[in-house]
Amino acid sequence: PKAIYLKDYQQPDYWIERTELTFELQDEYTLVTAQLDCVRNEQAQPGAALLLAGQDLELLSLVLDGQPLTAGQYETGEESLTVHGLQERSQLEIQTRIYPAKNTALEGLYRSGGMYCTQCEAEGFRRITYYLDRPDVMSVFTTHIIADAAQFPVLLSNGNLVADCVDDGLHKVTWHDPHKKPAYLFALVAGDLRVKEDRFTTMNGRDVALKIFVEPQNIDKTDYALDALKRSMRWDEETYGREYDLDIFMIVAVDDFNMGAMENKGLNIFNSSCVLANPATATDAAYQRIEAIVAHEYFHNWSGNRVTCRDWFQLSLKEGFTVFRDACFSADMNSATVKRIEDANIMRTVQFAEDGGPMAHPVQPDSFIEISNFYTVTIYEKGSEVVGMLHKILGKDGFRKGSDLYFERHDGQAVTIYDFVQAMEDANHVDLTLFKRWYKQAGTPVVTVNSEYDADAQQLRLTLSQRCPDTPGQSNKLAQWIPVQLGLIGADGQDLAIDVEPAAAWTESSQVLHLTEAEQTFVFNGISEQPRLSLFRDFSAPVKVEFEQSADDLLFLLQHDSDGFNRWDAGQRLMLSWISAAQQGRFELLPQVRDVFARLLADESLDPAMVSCLLTLPSEAYIAEFSAQVDPLAIHAARKQVQQAIAASLVKEFSACYQRLQSTAAYAPVPAQMSARSLKNLALAYWVKGSADGLAQAVSQYRSADNMTDQMAALVAVVNSGASAQAEQLLGDFYQQWSQDALVVNQWLSVQAGSAELGRVEFIQQLLAHPAFDWRNPNKVRSVLGAFANQALCHFHREDGAGYRLLADAVLRLNDSNPQIAARLLTPLTKWRRLVPELSELMKAELQRIMQHDALSKDVYEVVSKSLI
Ligand code: DPP
Ligand code: ZN
């Protein structure tokens, strides 16, 4: 397999102005006829050949400007078709046969249950027909679909429905999308589906039909997504001035789907786990995920579809920006602080790990072998953080001016990340040259902090220095522009007024310093007492911070910082220090700490979801990222000891908090209720660990719950309590109750596979053999193998390597049927260098075993080969 480089980018020799597709869906196969109106690029030579991409296609016929082509006028390659003899304008008609029922990769056109659906991003369209399958080729699509009327009452594609009839048992429809788009945004759906409908009136009065299509049994799970869609549409008008641009917006739920969802123009296709919900089957967390993903895909209509990417190296142009947009939306709909904490948690556990591993890459990568491997936390979440820093630097209004200019200037174009930055620069008359390094340098910068207080001079000198570790292919990195939002806190807990030199030139707020050099000293004047420092408030930059603060200072910040994010961060740093002490056999929960926790639990003025975050221990993965060398079993044991100590010393407080938050109100997935439930169920989880009464209460909550949030929380609490008889009983009951609901069964699989109490290798093997498991369904693979390898770390890292072997076997099995999922599952095995030596060797051996397999997919090959370098 060969790498593709950004530096080799060239425009194609032809554009495709118009694309007309006809799909004839037959039982065994599908016939696809494509009429392509090709126009020679001005930069191309007359007579240039047309080079199209294609994969797993049977070519039936080729007609150029009305003339059937014969051998010599075209050539087919392994994954290509070359056509000669095009004029400046030519029409090419291509007929191919494809086999959707045999398509297990879930790219292109495939079957999921009784329906047909597509996934074309990034390079799936080439499995439908030969095409210029690249995002800079934007075309106006017309799509005809012909299928058996009885089986396929619903036939959908992008744009507006312009014809619909039944003729001799065949259902025939035509869809026309007036907006030109790249092929990766094409979609088709066929099935016997039910629809839930609503309407939305846009800011300029366009009446839009909203439709969610689902399989009949799921029609009672569509309300929330529909509501979230309307809120997203309104929010994008109010926040970005962006209006929807077709008369219809459709969402379809599909069970077999590699990703979370896909923003196809006017026809979003969703993994059913990211759209379907009702109170009995979905947890609060699932509701929030659905709200975020519905918004994300909707927001792509502007950031992605109207303005798209020139090439796949620009993927973060649409993904980073759109994640930033959906994060702000979620922050506005729920608690902004809690959302920030969740996002920082993902950065620190998953993205920093990626930055520190063999697949580290910049937000704008230089090369890839398989683009599917680059739908990463770096492209998405770090990309969003980088956009967020621009927002901090330019301020809310400046950022909006920049985004207005970007959308206006590039509407209908396929552009680069630098075009986005350029619009921000032009709209604000600032020079962001230095800032652009965030897009080109991989790795997590480390900021070191030194502060000196001079009581006589009433001055605080703060020296910040930055460095960024080497990553594959990159060393000697340059200083980056790091916005440091901060506060100085006095003994009374209040923020001191800030008067700093050099003054912050770039921002509307003096609370943000700009670290742009390898080392800088900032001097704060008029500081009349030794303050406590609160740095990187609101997680103002995706960096690691080296700063020694005493346990007393951290405890103070946990109680008094006016920045909610840093309250949480102070607590996490304290807990990390306890876990590290526990690893050395010297942890003790001090009475003053206990008292602070007790006060937090009883403080009704605080947002309960926030308290829940404050009292949640860092996950094992998070702890690992803060360890020099990772010893997963030691981390597990130490964390458990700290958790047990907290539970045991606050039994009364946890039970009281739990009782206080019991509610008789009917369940609703609304922020105030969700917030209360999150603390209630956290209290329950600790209470169960601290006393037998807690366990009895959890069983009782399980039995009486009328919603999945409480039912699942109780189940998890019982499973994690180690009370194996009760756990077995409830797990059995749960399966009985829900065996007909695939999404709930997936949760059931994942609770078990991800549990330290249950997730032993032999047990995982049993789950893989369970009738509820299905290797062809990505959600089930993630529910068992993903949960095992990412959460049940004490079993995955078993001393004899059996956990690694199990995962490697699964990767090899999926390599043939679904390479994208196989490569994704590999991630935990890429971390071998960070592990203690015994485990490191065992993990590496599994990678070597995979590497020896012949016929590795590009996806798996890329990850394994890079991991072994
Ligand atoms: N469907 C994926 C997303 O929305 C890829 N575009 O992020
Ligand atoms: Zn996206």
- What are 681-728's pLDDT values in tens digits? 999 999 999 999 999 999 999 999 999 999 999 999 999 999 999 999
Ligand closest to Cα of 264 equals 1
Closest residue to atom 6 of ligand 1, CA basis: 262
The pLDDT tens digits for 462-490 are 999 999 999 999 999 999 999 999 999 99
Q: Is the CB of 256 under 6 A from ligand 1?
A: no
Average pLDDT value for the chain = 97
Tell me the CA–centroid distance for residue 302 and ligand 1, in Å.
13
Banded model confidence at residue 501, pLDDT cuts 50, 70, 90: confident
Pairing, β 267-271 against β 261-262: antiparallel
User: Ligand 1 atom 1: the closest Cα is on which residue?
Assistant: 262
284 lines ligand 1 (CB under 6 A): no
Q: What is the arithmetic mean of pLDDT over 752-761?
A: 98
Find the 304 Cα to ligand 1 centroid distance in Å. 9
Nearest by Cα to 463 from 455, 454, 453, 451: 451
Distances (CA, A) of 500 to 495, 526, 568: 14, 9, 26
Query: Is 262 a pocket residue for ligand 1 (Cβ < 6 Å)?
Result: yes
Domains and CATH numbers, the chain: 18-36+54-63+91-285 (2.60.40.1730), 308-440 (1.10.390.10), 449-466+477-537 (2.60.40.1840), 549-649 (no CATH)
CB 13 less than 6 A from any atom of ligand 1? no
Q: Residues 121, 297, 757, 862: which is the catalytic one?
A: 297
Q: Is the confidence at residue 507, as pLDDT, over 70?
A: no
SS3 track for 97-119? EECHHHCCCCCEEEEECCEEEEE
Per cent of the chain over pLDDT 90 is: 98
| Angstrom distance (rounded) from CA 126 to CA 56 | 8
Distance 680 CA to ligand 2 centre (A): 33
Q: Quick one: average pLDDT of 341-353?
A: 98
Checking if the pLDDT of 102 tops 60, the result is: yes
pLDDT in tens, 781-821: 999 999 999 999 999 999 999 999 999 999 999 999 999 99
Q: Is the per-residue pLDDT at 635 higher than 80?
A: yes
646 phi and psi, to 5 degrees?
A: -65, -45
Q: What is the mean pLDDT of residues 67-95?
A: 98
Q: Is the pTM of this model over 0.80?
A: yes
Q: What is the pLDDT of residues 38-64, one digit of tens each?
A: 999 999 999 999 999 999 999 999 999
Interatomic CA distance for residues 858 and 373, integer angstroms = 9
What atom of ligand 1 comes closest to residue 260's alpha carbon?
1
Atom number of ligand 1 nearest to Cα 262: 1
The average pLDDT across 572-580 equals 98
pLDDT at 235 over 60: yes
Q: What is the pLDDT of residue 208?
A: 98
Instruction: Give yes or no for residue 505 having a pLDDT over 70.
Output: no
Structure tokens at 79: 């994954």
pLDDT in tens, 382-437: 999 999 999 999 999 999 999 999 999 999 999 999 999 999 999 999 999 999 99
CA of 314 to the centre of ligand 2 (A): 13
CA of 354 relative to ligand 1 center, distance in Å: 19
pLDDT reading at 509 higher than 70: no
Say which residues have a Cβ less than 8 Å from residue 747's Cβ, sequence separation at least 6.
283, 708, 712, 783
The two structure tokens encoding residue 828: 């935990």
Confidence band of 508 (pLDDT split at 50, 70, 90): low
DSSP secondary-structure letter at 444?
Answer: -
Is the minimum distance from the CB of 326 to ligand 1 under 6 angstroms? no
From the alpha carbon of 304, which atom of ligand 1 is closest?
A: 6
Under 8 Å between Cβ of 761 and 798: yes
On the question of pLDDT at 504 being above 70, the answer is: no
297 is catalytic: yes
